[in-house]
Every structure is written in structure tokens, then in C-alpha cells.
């Protein structure tokens, strides 16, 4: 973790969902969240670890961390606006 102090508000388990499913699930979760909430996305899709950080930057949120473990990626995002 690049920022171990951040507490996860919500976890979205999108493992088994194919591109662009994990991003769609993240966007839905962000819309339902409050500013400052931190969302962790689990993804086994190869595209998401490149696409989600790019989307996070474009959408004006913050990428807290991106880690790979046991064949899936854990992408943590803070909602900023």
C-alpha cells in the first residue's frame, strides 16, 4: 500500500467481470458515495489496471493505490468531488 492510513469506505468486487465492467462498477459506486469516501475495486480484467487510473485522473479523483495479488488487482480510489 502506498497509503496505508486510508480507510476503505466501500469495496467493489468486480472479479470475473470483463472490460469495461470493473470501471462501470467503480463509476456506479463513486456516484453513490460521498466526497472523501475511499473505494477499493477488485478486478481480474487485464484492462482495468491501466484504464481505471486514467479514468480517475480524468474524472478528478485520487488514485490511492494499485496492487496485484493472487491474480487480481486491487485499485483504491478516493472520491474528491
Partner 1 sequence: MVDESLNLVLFSGTDDKLQAAAVLTAGAAALGKPVNIFLQYWALDAFRADRIGQDHGLAPEAGVAGRAAVEALARAGQAPWAETLRQAKDLGGVDIQACSLSMDLLKLESTDLDPLVDGVEGVTAFYLNAGGGQVVFI
| Contact between 53 and partner 1 per CB under 8 A | no
Segment near partner 1 (CB under 8 A); pick from 32-40, 50-58, 62-70, 73-81: 50-58
The verdict on 39 binding partner 1 (CB under 8 A) reads no
DSSP state, 26? H
Q: Nearest approach, Cβ of 11 to partner 1 (angstroms)?
A: 19
DSSP letter assigned to residue 34: P
Query: CA-to-CA distance for 45 and 30, rounded, in angstroms?
Result: 19
User: What is the Cα–Cα distance from 80 to 19, expressed in whole angstroms?
Assistant: 24
| Stretch touching partner 1 by CB under 8 A, among 1-9, 21-29, 33-41, 68-76 | 21-29
Amino acid at each position: 500500500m502506498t497509503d496505508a492510513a486510508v480507510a476503505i469506505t466501500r469495496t467493489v468486487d468486480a472479479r470475473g467481470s470483463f472490460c469495461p465492467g470493473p470501471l462501470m462498477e467503480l463509476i456506479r459506486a463513486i456516484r453513490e458515495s460521498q466526497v472523501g469516501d475511499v473505494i477499493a475495486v477488485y478486478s481480474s480484467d487485464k484492462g482495468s489496471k491501466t484504464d481505471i487510473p486514467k479514468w480517475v485522473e480524468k474524472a478528478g479523483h485520487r488514485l490511492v493505490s494499485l496492487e496485484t495479488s493472487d491474480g487480481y488487482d486491487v485499485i483504491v480510489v478516493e472520491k474528491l468531488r
